[in-house]
Amino acid sequence: MYKINIKPSFDKSYKKLVKKNDELKIKIQKIFELLAEDPKYPSLHSHKVQTPDFGEKWSSRVSGDIRIIWDFDENNNLVILVLDIGGHSGGGKVY
C-alpha cells in the first residue's frame, strides 16, 4: 500500500476544478484509493509524461479529460506525491 502525499500545487488546481462538483470530488477520491493500492492499476492508464511545471512525471486518468500528475517520492518509493490535476487538453491542460 502506498501513502498519498498531496502537494500545495495540487490543492489550488483541485479547488478550482471541483468547485460545485461533488460527483468529481467522489471520483477523485476513488482515484486516490486506486493509486494507494496500485499506481499502475489498468483503469488509471498511468504513464510517464513531460509536464511544463514539473518535468517528467506520471499521469493517471480521472475522467475523459481530467488527469492527475504525480510521482514517486525519491526518498521513499512507497510514497506518491500528488502534484497537479487538470485537463488533458484545452486551456487548463497539465501536460
Amino acid at 67: R
User: pLDDT tens, 40-69?
Assistant: 999 999 999 999 999 999 999 999 899 999
| Total tally of structural domains belonging to the chain | 1
Looking at every residue in the chain, the average pLDDT score rounds to 94
Segment 18-25 shows an average pLDDT of 93
- Cα Rg for the chain, rounded, in angstroms? 12
CATH number at 47 reads 3.30.2310.20
Which residue reads 486516490 in cell numbers? 32
Residue 95 lies in a domain: no
**Which among 2, 1, 9 has a CA at the least distance from the CA of 82?**
9
Q: Residue 68's domain spans which residues?
A: 3-87
Q: pLDDT at position 24, please? A: 95
Which of left, alpha, beta for 58 (phi over 0: left; psi -120 to 50: alpha)?
A: beta
**Which among 44, 42, 51, 48 has a CA at the least distance from the CA of 28?**
44
Residue 92 lies in a domain: no
